[in-house]
């Protein structure tokens, strides 16, 4: 009996799902047709990229499969994150995002953290194309404003996870309708560094019945953080208040400098600072003030 062929697809799916890396899945997909049929959707579901060139090649492959008349492999993509790709902020711009979501319409998780060239207009393209989206991360996409967040509130299907950390232009003007729209499904909300207010947080705590995680780090528009944290804990919500890096409150003397500061002029090393006459700056015309003994860059 051929063992690879004898295993049921359900068991193969469980085994392949626990491999945890694309290299192993790719090797399983090359064993036989049966294994390939089970492993390939898992391989495509959450692609990983080492650099921008790999991402570009993958995107071209997704686009070509959709127009070749065969099976559109882009429909198998469920999770897309680019945050681990070096310099992802350079290549993930509006046009690339549009091509990506059009080629992969079944994405449920879209992580665009740190894509600083994306703006409000980029957000307008997502909602009509990704009806299955449940997890959206726009953290540190600093060009996104209230306009883009309002579009998420009014045009996106209800999301379970929303991450908006570092969006300092986002305020209560858009956060209030965002929370109201997605309150029935929202489980995790990251508002670190935004201009969210106490009223917005109280709305989230009262209306979002499934909320489990809330990040309000460095939200300086919040006036009574301790009371909000206490209320969240009573409702069983995990609150984070220190996820964004902050500078030290007090100066710490690390004794790195071991020398002594001089009260007068610093001593200069003649070998470094003394200029020979031939290496002195060129002077146009006759200059009575120019000294042949030009030294240390100063005139005697």
User: 26 and 60, same structural domain?
Assistant: no
Structure tokens at 251: 């100066």
Q: Does residue 297 sit within a domain? A: no
Which DSSP symbol is given to 215?
E
For position 211, which CATH number holds? 3.80.10.10
Report whether 85 contacts 55 (CB < 8 A).
yes
Residue with tokens 């208040």: 241
User: 5 and 99, same structural domain?
Assistant: no
Residue with tokens 């740190």: 114
Question: Phi and psi (nearest 5°) for 136?
Answer: -130, 125
Residue ending a domain, choose from 194, 221, 240: 240
Structure tokens at 248: 């030290």
Q: Does residue 125 sit within a domain? A: yes
Query: Which domain does 119 fall in, by range?
Result: 44-240
Q: Does residue 101 sit within a domain? A: yes
For 163, the 3-state DSSP assignment is strand
pLDDT at 166: 95
Question: Phi and psi (nearest 5°) for 45?
Answer: -60, -40
Report whether 130 contacts 110 (CB < 8 A).
yes
pLDDT at 298: 44
User: 75 and 30, same structural domain?
Assistant: no
Residue spans of beta strands (DSSP E) within the chain: 79-81, 109-111, 135-137, 161-163, 188-190, 213-215, 238-240
pLDDT at 295: 45
Residue 293 Cα to chain centre, angstroms: 59
User: 146 and 17, same structural domain?
Assistant: no
Q: Does residue 247 sit within a domain? A: no
Question: Which helix (H) or strand (E) covers residue 110, if one does?
Answer: strand 109-111
User: 218 and 90, same structural domain?
Assistant: yes
b/e per residue 44-53 (b: at least 16 CB within 10 A): bbebebeebe
User: 54 and 29, same structural domain?
Assistant: no
pTM: 0.73
Report whether 208 contacts 232 (CB < 8 A).
no
Q: What is the pLDDT along the chain (300 residues), one digit of tens a residue?
A: 566 677 777 776 677 666 666 666 667 666 777 777 777 777 778 888 888 998 998 888 888 876 544 467 788 899 999 988 888 888 899 999 999 999 999 999 999 999 999 999 999 888 888 999 999 999 999 999 999 999 999 999 899 999 999 999 999 999 999 999 999 999 999 999 999 999 999 999 999 999 999 999 999 999 999 999 999 999 999 999 987 766 554 444 455 545 555 555 555 455 544 444 444 455 555 555 545 444 444 444
pLDDT at 275: 46
User: 57 and 34, same structural domain?
Assistant: no
User: 117 and 50, same structural domain?
Assistant: yes
Residue ending a domain, choose from 193, 221, 240: 240
Report whether 41 contacts 27 (CB < 8 A).
no
235 burial level (CB within 10 Å; 0-12, 13-18, 19+)? middle
**Helical spans, DSSP H, in 116-216:** 120-124, 146-155, 172-182, 198-207
State how many domains the chain has.
2
User: 162 and 94, same structural domain?
Assistant: yes
Q: Does residue 111 sit within a domain? A: yes
User: 95 and 6, same structural domain?
Assistant: no
User: 209 and 228, same structural domain?
Assistant: yes
User: 163 and 30, same structural domain?
Assistant: no
């Amino acid at each position: 009996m051929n063992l690879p062929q004898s295993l049921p697809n359900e068991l193969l799916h469980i085994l392949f799902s626990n491999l945890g890396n694309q290299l192993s899945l790719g090797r399983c997909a090359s064993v036989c047709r049966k294994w390939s049929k089970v492993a390939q959707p898992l391989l495509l579901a959450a692609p990983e990229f080492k650099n921008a060139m790999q991402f570009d090649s993958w995107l071209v492959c997704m686009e070509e499969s959709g127009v070749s008349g065969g099976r559109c492999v882009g429909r198998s993509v469920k999770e897309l994150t680019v945050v681990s790709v070096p310099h992802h902020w350079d290549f993930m711009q509006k046009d690339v995002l549009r091509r990506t979501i059009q080629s992969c319409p079944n994405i449920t998780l879209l992580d665009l953290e740190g894509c600083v060239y994306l703006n409000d207009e980029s957000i307008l393209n997502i909602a009509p194309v990704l009806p299955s989206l449940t997890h959206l991360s726009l953290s540190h996409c600093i060009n996104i404003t209230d306009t883009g967040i309002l579009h998420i509130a009014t045009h996106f299907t209800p999301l379970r996870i929303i991450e908006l950390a570092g969006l300092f232009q986002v305020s209560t003007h858009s956060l209030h309708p965002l929370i109201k729209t997605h309150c029935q499904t929202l489980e995790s909300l990251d508002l670190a560094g935004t201009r969210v207010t106490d009223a917005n947080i109280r709305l989230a705590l009262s209306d979002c019945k499934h909320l489990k995680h809330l990040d309000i780090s460095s939200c300086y528009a919040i006036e009574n953080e301790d009371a909000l944290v206490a209320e969240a804990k009573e409702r069983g919500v995990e609150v984070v208040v220190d996820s964004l890096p902050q500078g030290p409150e007090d100066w710490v003397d690390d004794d790195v400098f071991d020398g002594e500061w001089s009260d007068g002029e610093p001593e200069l090393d003649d070998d470094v600072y003394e200029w020979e006459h031939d290496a002195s700056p060129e002077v146009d015309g006759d200059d009575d003030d120019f000294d042949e003994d030009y030294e240390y860059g100063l005139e005697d």
